[in-house]
A and B are shown apart, each in its own frame.
Chain A
Amino acid sequence: MQAPSPAASPATPEQLAAIDAAIQSHAQTRGACLPMLHTIQESLGFVPHEAIERIAAAINWSRADVHGVLTYYHDFRTAPPGRRVLKVCRAEACQAMGCERLEQHVAERHGVAMGATGQDGELTVEPVYCLGNCALSPSVLLDGRVHGRVTPERLDALLAVGKADGGEARS
């Protein structure tokens, strides 16, 4: 969630076009900064650094203001995620049903620690604090879909399915 290092690759022309389209789609939206960031991330999977300046110009805010919003919210990424995004719930109800086990399993079996993306760019694992599926804990959100009563075995099966059909990461 920090500003990119100088080594971060600049946005491609396609990404810049997506940023501009997202900004344009909220031209009539009041309080548009947060909605613009959402739309950009929905289309690109993350918010490239270049978006800050463009949003700031569009809504007449300072770049610092936009940077502040971007880095305040847990949802936003400033670097591309893996092809698949797994959010593992860490909240109390899931803890009561052993969600640490899932976190540990993903780290050991799939080699991706919480908050990280695997070296092969396949999987990003992020914490989430409650998916509202607390009667069927532990829960995960995989590519935008909620799964309940998740065991390590079930998680492996879910991850294997996605690999086969090559689905796009959703959120």
Chain B
Amino acid sequence: MSVRVFVPRDSAALSMGADAVADAIVAEAGKRSLDVQVVRNGSRGMLWLEPLVEVDAAGGRVAYGPVQPGDVAGLFDAGLLEAGEHALRLGATDELPWMQKQTRLTFARVGVTDPLSLEEYQQHGGLVGLQKALAMDPAAIVEQVVQSGLRGRGGAGFPAGIKWQTVLGATADQKYVACNADEGDSGTFSDRMIMEGDPYLLLEGMVICGLAVGATEGYIYLRSEYPDARVVLTTAIERARAAGWLGDDVLGSKKAFDVHVRLGAGSYVCGEETAMLESLEGKRGIVRAKPPLPALEGLWGKPTVVNNVMTLAAVPWILDRGGEAYAAHGVGRSKGTLPFQLAGNIKHGGLVEVPFGVTLRELLYDFGGGSATGRPIRAIQVGGPLGAYLPESRFDTPADYEALAAAGGLLGHGGIVAFDDSVDMARMARYAMEFCAIESCGKCTPCRIGSTRGVEVVDRLVGGDEPKKQEALLRDLCATMTSASLCAMGGLTPLPVLSALDHFAEDFRK
């Protein structure tokens, strides 16, 4: 019988040479006439160990990493197929501390299965949520999502159930589900890992959403910066259609739902839901004024659920186990789990799914192991380019929506970027304004003009040109952007700028 060896196809693993490692394993096994089946799985999320190779030995799966092609012959010499001892041997995958400390609800299958195998998806609990949903009334499905307390994982944290209720209650000849896969925040990659590592989960979540609100068509707005995710996702959709999971007769229910992928084109602001809808319609990604809410007048003017990948991917579990079971995880009004992403200058970067309420310090040190450079972590940015920079004194803040807001930050999409003590925070503040200037859609003045003026003011402030006056001007400008911008792009850019100024004032005086 052939031995299964797993080499991830996740783009983080590919970026470290996983394809060459897979090729080397096939070649080495051939040379030794060994019966090996290489499976291209998703990533377990221990990205600093990629390419992480696993062997399915008698006692379960055992991990080795990081493996380079040059290590492969030595691994075979050490008895890789019997999980033999080797310097790169990490131990049983499920027993590694990184895995044991997690609560993987959404990511349960990621890294375990072949992402494109319909059989493995079902063998590992897939489709159960959808089958239950098919036997329920739309209102009952929505009720489960309401009970779960699931909030929008894109960053805004709006209750998903309430949004679904609004779309369900709207009357129209056509409704849509629009999945926001424009994961543009630096420091985030959980959407990508789901799309590359368990794409049927997202499709299942979208079908359930369609059943719940009465939509028959779904669109995934995928950013063009994710070429590997595009390949996996489009292949998964073709296979799901062929298997009758999508189409006019979902699982023989006579109910219709189909999914299309649309590609973004490098615009960050298209992650804002109304700009995304414009872009899905093939137009410039210009933000729409609200109201009308997309839930009532969304894609092509029809009622539309706009949800992030993580939101929709949480739904199959909720329908399978019930909203109450999901709500049993987490704290306060932040229910369930969040896949946190540790990035930047961090020793053990990767993805950690845990209930809300874990502290930033636990994430940075217990999981992350401190900085990659070994120097002290001086600042972290939580929640992407529009999130606050927090100093060490805030690291004990629990990571939930309310606690982070109270600490002057935001949780966003759950990404944490660490910086060591070599960081120049005035430079990061300037970059926040610069990024806003590059990415502003241009519709509203505070964002379009304010960001450019912001770069100039930061330059004058750092240049020592009447610094008191410049600081007052910068704060005034930020107040205008915060209160008068049309969307979060201009409205939240002041957050990284002012948090850098408030917590790291010394970097602005040189």
Nearest CB on B from A47, distance (A): 11
Q: Which residues of the partner chain A approach B12 to less than 8 Å between Cβ atoms?
A: 133, 135-136, 146, 148
Name the CB-closest residue of A to B385: A92
Please report the C-alpha to C-alpha distance between residue A96 and residue B417 in the assembled complex, in whole angstroms: 8
Q: Which residues of the partner chain B approach A94 to less than 8 Å between Cβ atoms?
A: 186
Q: Which residues of the partner chain B approach A105 to less than 8 Å between Cβ atoms?
A: none
A93–B344 touching, CB < 8 Å: yes
B186–A134 touching, CB < 8 Å: yes
Name the CB-closest residue of B to A130: B186
- B57 in contact (CB, < 8 A): no
Contact of A31 among B184, B192, B282, B341 (CB under 8 A): B282
- From A130, A141, A171, name the one whose CB has the most chain B CB atoms within 10 angstroms: A130
Please report the C-alpha to C-alpha distance between residue A35 and residue B342 in the assembled complex, in whole angstroms: 33
B265–A75 touching, CB < 8 Å: yes
Please report the C-alpha to C-alpha distance between residue A68 and residue B227 in the assembled complex, in whole angstroms: 25
- B343 in contact (CB, < 8 A): yes
Interface mask (B262-277 → A, CB under 8 Å = 1, otherwise 0): 1111111000000000
Q: Which residues of the partner chain B approach A141 to less than 8 Å between Cβ atoms?
A: 225, 227
Interface mask (B385-425 → A, CB under 8 Å = 1, otherwise 0): 10000000000000000000000000000010111100100
Q: Which residues of the partner chain A approach B279 to less than 8 Å between Cβ atoms?
A: 34
Please report the C-alpha to C-alpha distance between residue A131 and residue B189 in the assembled complex, in whole angstroms: 9
- B285 in contact (CB, < 8 A): yes
Chain B 204-256 interface residues, beta-carbon cutoff 8 Å to A: 224-228
- A24 in contact (CB, < 8 A): no
> Of B147-155, B345-353, B456-464, B469-477, which binds chain A?
B345-353
- B16 in contact (CB, < 8 A): yes
- B281 in contact (CB, < 8 A): yes
- A49 in contact (CB, < 8 A): no
A96–B418 touching, CB < 8 Å: yes
B282–A69 touching, CB < 8 Å: yes
Chain A 14-39 interface residues, beta-carbon cutoff 8 Å to B: 30-35, 37-38
B228–A146 touching, CB < 8 Å: yes
* Known contacts A34-B279, A34-B282; A75/B349 CB under 8 A: no
Please report the C-alpha to C-alpha distance between residue A65 and residue B419 in the assembled complex, in whole angstroms: 42
Q: Which residues of the partner chain B approach A146 to less than 8 Å between Cβ atoms?
A: 11-12, 14-15, 227-228
Please report the C-alpha to C-alpha distance between residue A95 and residue B434 in the assembled complex, in whole angstroms: 14
A133–B11 touching, CB < 8 Å: yes
A75–B224 touching, CB < 8 Å: yes
Q: Which residues of the partner chain B approach A72 to less than 8 Å between Cβ atoms?
A: 267, 284-285
Please report the C-alpha to C-alpha distance between residue A25 and residue B224 in the assembled complex, in whole angstroms: 19
Nearest CB on B from A156, distance (A): 16
Interface mask (A81-103 → B, CB under 8 Å = 1, otherwise 0): 00000000001111111000000
How many residues of chain A have a CB within 8 Å of chain B? Answer: 42
Name the CB-closest residue of B to A148: B15
Q: Which residues of the partner chain B approach A30 to less than 8 Å between Cβ atoms?
A: 281-282, 300
Name the CB-closest residue of B to A100: B427
Chain A 48-91 interface residues, beta-carbon cutoff 8 Å to B: 65, 68-69, 72-76, 91
- A137 in contact (CB, < 8 A): yes
B431–A92 touching, CB < 8 Å: yes
Chain B 374-393 interface residues, beta-carbon cutoff 8 Å to A: 381, 385
Please report the C-alpha to C-alpha distance between residue A30 and residue B344 in the assembled complex, in whole angstroms: 39
A33–B282 touching, CB < 8 Å: yes
Nearest CB on B from A105, distance (A): 18
Nearest CB on B from A70, distance (A): 9
Nearest CB on A from B442, distance (A): 9
Contact of B266 among A35, A74, A144 (CB under 8 A): A74
- B50 in contact (CB, < 8 A): yes
Contact of A96 among B47, B423, B435 (CB under 8 A): B423
Q: Which residues of the partner chain B approach A133 to less than 8 Å between Cβ atoms?
A: 11-12, 15, 189
Q: Which residues of the partner chain A approach B418 to less than 8 Å between Cβ atoms?
A: 96
Q: Which residues of the partner chain A approach B438 to less than 8 Å between Cβ atoms?
A: 129
Q: Which residues of the partner chain B approach A128 to less than 8 Å between Cβ atoms?
A: 225, 266
- B188 in contact (CB, < 8 A): yes
* Known contacts A76-B265, A129-B186, A130-B184; A135/B349 CB under 8 A: yes
Please report the C-alpha to C-alpha distance between residue A26 and residue B227 in the assembled complex, in whole angstroms: 20
B284–A136 touching, CB < 8 Å: no
Please report the C-alpha to C-alpha distance between residue A94 and residue B417 in the assembled complex, in whole angstroms: 9
Nearest CB on A from B397, distance (A): 19
Please report the C-alpha to C-alpha distance between residue A32 and residue B281 in the assembled complex, in whole angstroms: 8
Contact of B265 among A38, A65, A91 (CB under 8 A): A38
Name the CB-closest residue of B to A137: B344
B283–A134 touching, CB < 8 Å: no
Q: Which residues of the partner chain B approach A135 to less than 8 Å between Cβ atoms?
A: 12, 47-48, 189, 341-343, 346, 349-351
A136–B265 touching, CB < 8 Å: no
Q: Which residues of the partner chain A approach B350 to less than 8 Å between Cβ atoms?
A: 135
Q: Which residues of the partner chain A approach B15 to less than 8 Å between Cβ atoms?
A: 133, 136, 139, 146-149
- B138 in contact (CB, < 8 A): no
Contact of B187 among A32, A35, A73, A134 (CB under 8 A): A134
Name the CB-closest residue of B to A149: B16
B227–A136 touching, CB < 8 Å: no
16 A/B residue pairs, CB under 8 Å, sorted by A? A34-B283, A73-B267, A75-B265, A76-B265, A92-B186, A96-B417, A97-B344, A130-B225, A133-B189, A134-B186, A134-B189, A134-B343, A136-B15, A136-B16, A148-B12, A171-B224
Pairs A-B, 7 closest by C-beta atoms = A135-B349, A31-B282, A134-B343, A91-B186, A73-B265, A96-B344, A148-B15
Interface of A toward B, CB cutoff 8 Å: 30-35, 37-38, 65, 68-69, 72-76, 91-97, 128-137, 139, 141, 144-149, 171
Interface of B toward A, CB cutoff 8 Å: 11-12, 14-16, 47-48, 50, 183-189, 191-192, 224-228, 262-268, 279-285, 300, 341-346, 349-351, 372, 381, 385, 415, 417-420, 423, 428, 431, 435, 438-439
A96-B417, A96-B418, A136-B47 given; name 16 further pairs at CB < 8 Å: A30-B300, A72-B267, A75-B266, A92-B428, A96-B344, A97-B345, A129-B186, A132-B191, A132-B192, A134-B186, A136-B16, A136-B349, A139-B15, A145-B14, A148-B12, A148-B16
